């Protein structure tokens, strides 16, 4: 089940990258993003104001998604790396969102992805506490 969770996260990231390429407003103007904006006061992102930056995000999200799919094929040895990557994204996103609003760094969209990565990290840990990297060396699939 843990490996399936990693696979599905990877596929979801690739789908998000495709959406951000074709029609980013689906994500940037989603009900969840607008609710987070209303609740926190964080600004709403607009891909049209910085299309090159949006495309950079597309490349990053797609690469992370492909990395998850490759990790799924690598087995348990890849789990701590995937956990660390997602937890890092969650922590840095959270720290960015709580930075002074005058800096304009945090956004409702970033908070949404932060929450997604937090939930994924928690689910991964609950399914396999060894993702913390303690308790011996994980053994991956062999070629």
The three-state DSSP-derived secondary structure of 71-101 is: HHHHHHHHHHHHHHHHHHHHHHHHHHHCCCH
The more confidently predicted of residues 47 and 96 is 96
What does the pLDDT read at residue 108? 95
Residue 79 has pLDDT above 60, yes or no: yes
End-to-end CA distance of the chain: 21
Give the mean pLDDT of the chain. Answer: 91
What percentage of residues in the chain have a pLDDT greater than 70?
93
CA-angle at 131, arms to 10 and 143, nearest 5°: 65
The whole-number average pLDDT for the span 47-59 is 90
pTM exceeds 0.75: yes
Tokens of 39: 């609740």
């Amino acid at each position: 089940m843990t490996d399936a969770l990693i696979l599905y996260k990877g596929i979801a990231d690739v789908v998000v990258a495709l959406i951000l390429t074709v029609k980013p407003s689906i994500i940037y103007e989603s009900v969840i993003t607008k609710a987070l904006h209303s609740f926190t006061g964080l600004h709403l992102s607009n891909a049209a104001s910085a299309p090159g930056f949006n495309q950079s995000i597309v490349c990053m999200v797609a690469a992370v998604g492909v990395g998850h799919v490759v990790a799924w094929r690598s087995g348990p040895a890849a789990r701590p790396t995937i956990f660390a990557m997602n937890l890092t994204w969650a922590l840095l996103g959270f720290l960015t969102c709580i930075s002074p609003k005058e800096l304009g760094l945090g956004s409702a969209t970033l908070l949404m992805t932060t929450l997604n990565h937090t939930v994924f990290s928690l689910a991964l840990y609950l399914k396999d506490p060894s993702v913390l990297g303690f308790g011996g060396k994980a053994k991956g699939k062999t070629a």
